[in-house]
Each structure stands twice: as C-alpha cells, then as structure tokens.
A and B are shown apart, each in its own frame.
Chain A
Amino acid sequence: MNFILKMAWRDSRASRKRLLLFSLSIVLGIAALVAIGSFTTNLQTAIDGQAKGLLGADLAVESRTALTPEAQQFLDGLGGEQSREIMFASMVVFPSAGGQTRLISLRALEGGYPFYGEFLTQPSGAAARLAAGEQVAVLETGLLTQYGLSVGDPVRIGEQTFTIAAALENVPGESAAIAQLSPRVYIPLSRLPETGLLGPGSLVRYKTYFKFGPEVDAERLVTEMRSRFRELRLGFDTVEERKEDLGEALQNVYAFLSLVGFVALFLGAIGVASAIHVYVRQKIATVAVLRCLGASAWRSFAVYLVQGIGIGFVGSILGAALGVAVQLALPALVQGLLPFEVDFTIAWGAVLNGAAAGLVICVLFTLLPLLAIRRVSPLVAIRSSFAENTDRRDPLRWALYALIVAAVTAFALAQTTRWEHGLGFVAMLALSFGVLTGLARLVALSARRFFPKSAPYVWRQGVANLYRPNNRTVLLLLALGLGTFLIVTLALTRATLVAQIENTGGANRPNLLFFDIQDDQIGPLERILAEQSTPIVAQAAIVTMKVRSIKGRTVEDILKDNTSRLPSWTLRREYRSTYRGQLSATETLLEGTFTGRVEPGVEEVPISMEVGLVRDLQLKLGDEMEFDVQGVPLKARLTSIREVEWRRMEPNFFVLFPEGVLEAAPKFFVAATRVATPADSARVQRAVVAGIPNVSAIDLALILQTLDSVFSKIQFVVQFMALFTVATGVIVLAGAVMSGRFQRLRETVLLRTLGANRHQLVQIQLVEYAILGLLAALVGCGLALLANGLLAAFVFKTVGAFPLSTLLGAVVAVMVVTLATGLLANRGVADHPPLEILRQET
C-alpha cells in the first residue's frame, strides 16, 4: 500500500495540473447537486418553521357558490375566530393613468386574516384600514409600477372609486408569482356590494378562515367532519395539507433540477474517463517498466486508481464548496416564486450526499479506462510497438458497465418520487447519449469516407483530425451537443408555446373576451362594441347548474362513498353550460349524434359532453344524469361526446344543451370580438368598463404577457441549471483539448520542424475546432428540434416552432465557445521552439 500511495503521488508530479483539470470536469455537476440539495433542505426547514404562515390560518374553507344557510350555520358552529374573503376576477380602472383598465383578482376581506404571518404593505398599516372598512384598496406593487400609480391615487372598481392605501408586498401563503398571473387588489368586504360587481354567474370563491384556540386540533376536526364538508360541497385546506402540497411540489422541482444537475455530473464523468483514457495511454511505458521490475497487474492498476480517486476527491471537495457558494445565489434566482422566506445555512447532509454521488460516479467512470492497465504486458518495455489491449470480453469491464448503470439508476430512483420517472430519466439519458455517440461516430466515418482530397493542406489536416486515432469527435459532440440540446430545447419549447397562443388569435379569430355579462347587458355591450367598430364575433349564453345525480345515484351519495373514484371537483363544481343548435368551430363530434334542438317539455334532454369530463365521470353514451338548474331539476341523457379545442379564445363548454330547454333559465353571457392592435384593445376595454363596469375582459396580449413572464422565470431557473451542463461541456472540451495537446504535440513539433509556420498550425486547429463546434451545434439543435417536435405533437398538441434566429444564434455561440476554448487550451504549442517542447513533454 505504501508503494502504491508513494508511486501514485510521485507519478502525478508532472501531471498534477492536468489531473486538476480533469477533476474540474465533475466540479460543476457536483456543485449543482450540492446547491440544489442544500437549498431544498433549507426550503424544507423554512416550510416547517413557517408552517402556520403558509396558510395564514388554522383552517381555510372554500365554496364556489354563495354559502347556503345550512353551510353558514355549519361554519359558525365550528367556532374559533373567523375571517371572510370573497374573491373573483374583475376589471379596475385607473383614472390617474388615463383611464387605463386591467383585469385583476379582487379580494374583499373581512376580519383578522391573516391570523399568522404578516400582511405586508408599503406603507404599513393598510391591513388595519381594510379591517376598519375604509373606502380604500391595497394594490399589487407591480400594478402601481406598471401604471405609474401612487398611494392616494384613485382606482375605480365597479361603480365605486377607492383610494389606493398601500402597495401589497406579501400575503401569507401566496407567492408573488400569483401576481404575474393575476394581480391582487384588496378592498374591505363591507364595500363590495356597493361596487355592483357581484352578479349572478360570476366566478366567485367564498373563503372563510379560522383561528382556533390550542384546544382545537384543526387536522382532527377536518378528519372527523370530512363527510359533512363534502355534503355541503365545501373544500378545505389545513396547515398540514398545505405543507404536504408544498413538500410534494418541492420534491418534484428538486427531482427535476437535481436530475438536470446530474446530467452535468454524468457528462463530466465521461469527460474524466476520456481524459484518463488518454492519460493511461501515455502511462503504458511506465506501467510496463513497473511490471518488468516486479509490480503485479493489480499493483500497477492500483497506482493509477489512487490517482483516479484523488481526482474524484478533489473534484468533490471543489464541487461541494462551489455548490455551497451557488446556493447563496439561488434565493435571488427563485425570488417571487416562493411563498416564504428562506434562510441560508449549510446543509451538511446535502453537501455530503452531492459530494459522495460525485465521487462514486467519477471513480466508476475512471475505472473504465484504468482497467486496461491490468493488461499491459511487461514486454512493452522491450518492444517499441504496442498494441493496446482493450479486450471487450473482459468480464470486469462488463461488470463495471453494469455497476455504472446500477449507480445511475439508483441515483435517479432516489431523486424521484415515482419509479417510472426515475427509469424514464435513465432511459432518456441512455437514448440521448446513444444518439449523440452514434451521430459522432457517423461524423468521424463520413469525414474519412468523404475526405476532401483536393482541399488545401490545412483543411485536410483539420478534417483528418476528426477521425484519426485519439480523435475528440465523440467526446466533443457528446459534451457540447448535450448542453446545446438542453438549452435549445428550452428555447424552442418557449417559442412553441408562445406561437401556439399567438395562433389562437390569428386568422381573424377572436382575441378579446368579455365575461360576466348579465342577461340585460348583452344588448348594451353589442351597442358599445359596434360603436367601437369591433362587433361581437362569438357569444354564448351561460346557465349555471350543478349535477344532482349520475346514473340514478345522487351526488351526495357518491361524495359520501369513500370507494368512489370520481374526482370530487367534477361533482362539486358549478357547471356553466350553454345551449346551441350546432357545434362550433372549436368542437369535433367524437361519438353519438348531436341534437341541436328539442321541443319544449321534453322529458329527457339529449346533451353533449366534452370527452375529458366523460372520462372523469366514467360515463358512456346513453347514461342518464340529473342537473339542478338553479333549483329546477332537469333530466338529461348523454347522446354525444365532443372534443373541444380549449386553447381557442372562444366560449367553450363542458356540457352543451340543445336549444328549446334553457332559454328561460337565469343566464348571463360571454362574448368575444377581434381587435387589431393593443391600443384598440385598451380603447375597447375602457369603453366597455365605463359603460358596464361589472363586465370583465381578457385579451390575448395579456395571456401572452402573463405566460411569457412566468415562463421567463421558470426558464431562467432551468437555464441556470442547464448552464452547468454547458459549462461542464466547455471544461470537458478544454480537458480533451489539453489531452490532445499532449498527444499531438510531437506531430505539431514535427510539422514545425519541417517548416510549418505558426499561422498554418493555428489554421489547422481552427479548421478542426470550427468543424467540431459546428457539428456539435448542429447535432444539439437537431436533437432539440426533434425533442421540441415530439413535445409539441404529443404534449402541447401543436406544431413545433422553428425560430431560425434562435437556432442560428445557438450555432454561432457554440462555435465561438468551441473555437475559443480550443485555441486557448492549445495556446503556446506553436510559439515555442520544437526542442524546448519536446524536452518538456518527455
């Protein structure tokens, strides 16, 4: 052992810088794992520490309809301190900002909520003014910034004008990301009726928050009362449930990010293996001499294994240290995405886990090239020629492959909560590497087969480097191709989603939707829109109803039945149905016959349902249902099943009734129009809100803007992680080039000796790296296009975007990175006298 350690240390003398460079390949992968692991641990600690603040109460009860007297009585009976909130989407007008309008999430609050955590506003004290019932509103900070508003400015909500009391900074249990989807505006509940906004059919959520004394266990309470809650169609949320939900979401994000980080580690490990492969080849003579002098095969092997472990060890320590440093940056990165504060502490468990994973993977990959040392014959010392003995039948090699697959699988399974996801990750990883390796081999083969014999010398040399022994084609295409693939896929997915939404408004389709239009307001709305030269292009009457029974069984019965597999939301929800004589352009009949009209008084109404809901409710054609249309029972039979293109900005419905049944029921409307420009949209919205304040509008631009801002945030986090892979690719590239530098030095020196000038030597390198960079970029972009195409076809049900500028940008960027790294790593080779370099590299 003493000899092995001593020899490993002495032998590393001339190569320590190189070995350090090898170890850098795994640093970023380990750093990513450590950073994500530590941050997640800190998040979990934050969740545990701020548990009650996550909900702001001990119990939150929610209803989608106004509370019935029975439900109200039940809630009153639960005791404790209570606070009520009514929330729905509405329009606000900012008179001081030129009368601009905006769709917001209106929250009318009464009582002492939040009971835990702080309702943070700037200036502070606004919560007390809301509680006192003043005519004030608290607006999302972003709204004030966006519309140039100040505290004290007026804001018109419905028929009332409120004074802005403060900017909202934080509400317990809600992340600032919500503001991006729908900015919040708080007013006192007592002021809500005067706004006139709460009409029939509004999509309203009624919430009641509870704070109990220490003698009441909220968890036990909801467990005991679960069936009563379901009977009354009330949803509930407790601190424990919120914690579990958050923990689960956190676990999913952690799994995703750590797997992205693992890709970087895996890539780095391949880089180490590749560099060690070259290193071992240079050590063959030394090993042969050791064998001649009496070192056994295993002893010689152990000398270099110690060096391999050293590389892993140094890489792990550096990676762990960097990971802890990166963790400092993560809170800023996810700012606004989390509903609570996260303190920074070093999570030693996560640090050790990440470092250990890195060490194990690195050593396993290092072992692959090291196995060849066992087979080095002492005869090499007296024979100048040496045939490398990489026996593919070596059982240890196969055992090692199996061990690597097992280790990667074990890691993936440990990171994911579902084994299918873990195995899926391993399969995808294997597939990506397989495809990239296959393509790289094809490139090398093509370079040989279609060699440009008539090209200038430097071109021929550069191209020949792609397939000559010890070429870097496979490694480089793998390293840079994978990084490019990950980042470009993200960019393409974003472009696809944005294009998909843009398309929904294309080709004269509606792009501005009005909702919450009361029965007597559809006429005035038509007039206003006509005046604005934007007539209604689609409209639908909406009748609210609930499901009373399915196939003869009452909803109450089904809700009480714990064995029922029907999702409770499908039973509890208030359905907004319409009636029409024909299917719309967004609907396709899948099964049955659509009936467009029935005679009044028909006993069973033939209805059409959306295919997803049919599946959820486990229905089939011919099944009967009974609806409660605002107190009136209505028997129906499923006679047709439709597919609905929900993405189109047109009124779409789960349940479609024929004409002749619902016309007399209380109803309200949605209507859609098409506006040419954002300015037109703002003008039309202003006119509508001025004339009919309770009508809300949402336009395609707003959806796009919302999607884009949310996607930007997520993409930033994911790109940050993917950058670890790209940076690892660059380090692996630098390592490969450095190895190649030693390998090809003699050849370069020979060329130099034979009269090649510096310019020619640099040109040869330029050609080689430009080709490799271009190929890596093309392969990465090609795979990204394929992945995006598959995602678009099978997940987003659309056509993948093909943003040429993004792809060209990626190709140029990868080429520049490859060229810069290649030339930097090779610098100096052509500048020194041949003899000097020869002596240095002996």
Chain B
Amino acid sequence: MLKVERLAKIYPTAAGPLAVLKEVSFDLLAGASLAIVGPSGSGKTTLLGLCAGLDRPSSGTVTLAGESIGVMDEDARARVRNEHVGFVFQNFQLIPTLTAVENVLVPVELRGESGPEIEAEARSLLTRVGLGSRVDHYPVQLSGGEQQRVALARAFINRPKILFCDEPTGNLDGDTAHAMVDLIFGLNREKGTTLVLVTHDPELARKCQRMIRLRSGGVVEDTARE
C-alpha cells in the first residue's frame, strides 16, 4: 500500500542545507498499521507529510496505492489524496464555517458526488462516532474531542485506502483520547484501512503492528509486533 525508498528531505537555510529526513525506507502492506515515533524535531511530521503527498521529497520515492507520488505535481497529488487518503490532524483542522456534516462531506463533494445518499452516509458516520445529534453544529459549538470525532468521520467518508493521523490525541484529555483511539482502530479494522500515525504517546504506538522510531531525521528503530 505504501512503499518508501531512500526518502530524504533537505531544506536550504542561511547556514547551509539542513537535512530533516535522511534515507528513510520502509514498506507497508494494505490493512497494516504503523506508528512513527521520536522526539520533537526528529522528522516525524515531515515523513508523514511526504508519505501522504503533502510535500515533495528532495530525493527518494514514495509509492502510495501503486502510484509514485514523489514525482507528481501538486494537483495530481491532490487527486491521489482525495481518492486514497484520509487525514486526522492534531488540531482537528475542521473548516470553521461549515457544520459538522458539511465538514464530513467535503472530500466526497470535491469528487463531484452529492445527494441524499451521500449525506445519509455522512450522518451515519457521525452517528457511528457518537455525534448523531450534533450533525448541524459548527466546530466552535463542539468540544475538542467532538471536533476530533468529526475529523475522523471526514477521514473515512471517502473510504480511504490509507489513513494518516498526526498526533490524533495530542490535544485531547485522557478519557477522550482513549475513546478516540478506540474509534480510530475500530474503524481501521472495520473498513480495512491502512493506518499511519505520528505520536508521542507510547501506549498509542504500541497498539500499532509496526513502529518506526526516528532521531535526527534517520530511522533508529523499526520493530514489528505480532
């Protein structure tokens, strides 16, 4: 599902080139789950961004759902994201001017799909994450945990082949975080989605089948769990 080979990202700075990611390679099968861990500044988010096609690598390749996204232009990568990828962000990233159900509908509407069936599916997903009674609320009217659940529903509306989560519980309290983790892994199993998440939380990382630890842009540990 996701194949990363000799991936590197180098930023030019006043003090010379700064390598934030060095020669990272791994392979992830469909339906698998991967946790990327490491200290701040180790390159986790950069790696996630490159894997999800949010940025282009300085060198190396990323193949996502059979498509080599590293060489694509931004609009082509946007199409791949829309067709195959779901996102959950640390700060939720809901569109403040849209209601919960409208936020969930954005990815499918971007594909030109709309209608009562689609909307029913969005409402059903919101019900699935426990927000059946709050579908018409705006983000500002929802708590952090509720906003993250809307984001999760949005991530699954286009039946993604792979879900990228960036610190999905980073802004949530303990109980809410647990509930969120259960939802992510539950939906992951239910929909057969591949899962890549970046986290500082060792407990969350342990729930994944595989864990890659980064330090200073390089892989220092790559462990698979039974």
Contact = CB atoms under 8 A, between A and B. Distances in A.
A384 B89 CA distance: 11
Contacts of A286: 95-97
B156 interface: no
A810 to B, nearest CB: 42
A6 interface: yes
A442 to B, nearest CB: 29
A294 B112 contact: no
A235 B50 CA distance: 86
Main secondary structure of the interface of A (DSSP, over half): helix
A352 to B, nearest CB: 33
Interface in B94-122: 94-98, 102, 106-107, 109-112, 114
A197 B106 CA distance: 92
Contact of A294 (B48, B81, B140): B81
Interface stretch (B58-66, B71-79, B177-185, B199-207): B71-79
Given A11-B97, A379-B49, A293 B140 contact: no
Contacts, number: 93
A839 interface: yes
Given A15-B97, A842-B139, A842-B140, A295 B55 contact: no
A382 interface: yes
B169 to A, nearest CB: 15
A11 B54 CA distance: 23
B97 A294 contact: no
B54 A379 contact: yes
A189 interface: no
A191 to B, nearest CB: 83
A379 B110 contact: no
A293 B81 contact: yes
Interface string A306-340: 00000000000000000000000000000000000
B98 A377 contact: no
Interface in A9-49: 10-15
A310 to B, nearest CB: 15
Contacts of B83: 294
B22 to A, nearest CB: 19
Given A3-B112, A377-B55, A294 B79 contact: yes
A10 B166 contact: no
Given A3-B109, A12-B97, A297-B75, A382 B48 contact: yes
Contacts of B45: 382-383
Interface hub of A7, A15, A384 (most chain B Cβ within 10 A):
A7
A288 B54 CA distance: 10
Contacts of A296: 74-75, 78-79
Contact of A842 (B49, B54, B96, B106): B96
B49 A7 contact: no
Contacts of B78: 291, 294-297, 378
B97 A293 contact: no
Contacts of A289: 93-95
Given A293-B107, A294-B110, A14 B97 contact: yes
A840 B97 CA distance: 12
B97 A2 contact: no
A292 B139 CA distance: 18
Given A11-B95, A293-B82, 5 more contacts: A3-B109, A286-B96, A295-B82, A378-B81, A379-B55
Q: Which 6 A-B pairs have the closest CB atoms?
A: A294-B82, A296-B75, A842-B140, A378-B54, A294-B81, A11-B97
Interface of B: 45, 48-49, 52, 54-55, 74-75, 78-79, 81-83, 85, 87, 89-91, 93-98, 102, 106-107, 109-112, 114, 139-140, 154, 166
Interface of A: 2-3, 6-7, 10-15, 285-286, 288-299, 377-379, 381-384, 839-840, 842
